[in-house]
DNA sequence: ATACTTGCAAATGATTTGCCAGTGT
DNA sequence: ACACTGGCAAATCATTTGCAAGTAT
């Protein structure tokens, strides 16, 4: 693997691959960066920047966290989502990127495989020539329960 | 960004209706409120709170603008949209509510009639039991031009 | 050695809140 | 009169930036 491409998703759950990508980009592998990656890897769900900073302990500085998340994102190591009005949520960029539905009434978040929204995507593409994505900004509306009311 | 002051005839009907709603709710019809309504009525596109405050002139106070927009929204007189990362945009709540598409690459905003997204809405409803809405949070993705690249 | 990074403070942008004088009813 | 409002300052929340000291390579 000598690829110099920087935007292919990280196909691994290991930190080592991310570190290699950092070095390949001429960036340094610091303890703070390793810890951020560990925290993200250890979480089942996307996290807020302040949650990550807190998880880093006493030395968790939120501005450094934001800075590193931004750099990780430029390298394709990390992705973030905006669910409703809430602050951004960050996660490792694994191969399987989920898409999200958010209920505007109960605020419940539903994560689905992209295939679940392919029909809708196709409808938008054929109707408006627009390629819909629900992995950064979610699809908003009313969940089944709230729509009933 | 359209000029709020206009030489075109102002439709006072919707303002009058809004004022009536205010009175019905036990709220007062102040000069500041009337002016906010006039500014919104005079604009072809939704406006940011600071644009409204500026349009009010020297004594345009943004916190009052936010407070009044919030109250207007509770009464159904006004509604707001979040287009991408930008601040909220406010408009009078007319009968015809548009839905929005935002390109994540070029940030272009496309306003469409709800019918244009009915096929997509139907696909989401039948597939996931979710009632999609694109009038508060827009549909994000890539516009035709950006999708080509 | 020398960039790159960190941590802290301070700035920013959007929105909200506290307070009190002012005004609509 | 009286409660509701407006304006101003200050607070909040999420995020960004400046900078001096620290560290990876």
Please check the confidence at residue A71 and state whether its pLDDT lies above 70. yes
Tell me the pLDDT band of B1, cut-offs 50, 70 and 90: very low
| β-pairing verdict for A99-103 and A139-142 | parallel
Q: What average pLDDT does chain A have? A: 91
Residues B24 and A148: their CA atoms lie apart, in Å, by 29
Question: Comparing A57-66, A70-79, B45-54, which segment has the lowest mean pLDDT?
Answer: A57-66
Mean of pLDDT values over B97-107: 95
Residue A104: both structure tokens together: 């505007």
Mean pLDDT, all residues of chain B: 92
Summarize pLDDT for A13-22 with one digit per residue, the tens: 579 999 999 9
Counts for chain B of helices (H) and strands (E), in that order: 6, 6
- How many other CB atoms are there within 10 angstroms of residue A47's CB atom? 23
- The predicted-structure confidence for B103-147, as pLDDT tens digits, reads as follows 999 999 999 999 999 999 999 999 999 999 999 999 999 999 999
Q: Using a CB-CB distance cutoff of 8 angstroms, which residues of chain A are in contact with residue B116?
A: 127-128
Query: For residue B51, what are its two tokens?
Result: 């644009």
Which residues of chain A have a CB within 8 Å of the CB of B138?
137
pLDDT of B5 higher than 90: no
Overall residue count recorded for chain A in this entry: 149
Smallest CA–CA distance, residue B2 to chain A, in Å, is 27
Q: Which of A93-107, B1-15, B23-37, B39-53 has the lowest mean pLDDT?
A: B1-15
Q: Give one DSSP letter per residue of A41-90, joined into a string.
A: HT-SS-B-HHHHHHHTGGG--HHHHHHHHHHHHHTTSEEEE--TTSPPEE
Residue among A85, A124, A144 whose CB faces B139 most closely:
A124
* Of A55-64, A130-139, B125-134, the least confident: A55-64
Distance CA B41, CA B13 (A): 10
**Nearest nt (C1') to B25 (CA)?**
D4
Distance from CA of B60 to the nearest CA of A (A): 26
Name chain B contacts of A120, Cβ cutoff 8 Å: 120-121, 123-124, 127, 132
Task: Look at the pTM and tell me if it is higher than 0.95.
Answer: no
Interface list for B 27-46 with A (CB within 8 A): none
Alpha carbons B55 and B38: distance in angstroms, whole number: 10
**Inter-residue contact B52 to B33 (CB < 8 Å):** no
Distance (Å, whole) CA B25 – CA B75: 8
Query: In the prediction, which pLDDT does B59 show?
Result: 82
A111 at interface of B, judged by CB pairs closer than 8 A: no
Residue nearest to nucleotide C14 (CA to C1'): B87
Instruction: Give B44→chain A minimum CA distance, Å.
Output: 23
Flag whether residue A83 sits within 8 Å of chain B, measured between CB atoms.
Answer: no
């Amino acid at each position: 693997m000598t690829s110099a491409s920087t935007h292919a998703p990280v196909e691994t759950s290991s930190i080592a691959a991310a570190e290699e990508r950092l070095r390949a980009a001429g960036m340094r592998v610091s303890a703070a960066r390793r810890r951020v990656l560990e925290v993200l890897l250890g979480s089942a769900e996307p996290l807020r920047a302040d949650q990550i900073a807190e998880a880093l302990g006493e030395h968790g500085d939120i501005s450094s966290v934001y800075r590193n998340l931004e750099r990780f994102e430029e390298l394709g190591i990390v992705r973030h989502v905006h669910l409703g009005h809430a602050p951004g949520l960050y996660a490792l960029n694994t191969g399987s990127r989920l898409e999200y539905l958010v209920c505007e009434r109960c605020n419940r978040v539903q994560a689905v495989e992209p295939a679940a929204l392919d029909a809708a995507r196709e409808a938008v593409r054929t109707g408006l020539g627009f390629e819909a994505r629900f992995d950064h900004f979610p699809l908003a509306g009313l969940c089944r329960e709230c729509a009933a009311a």
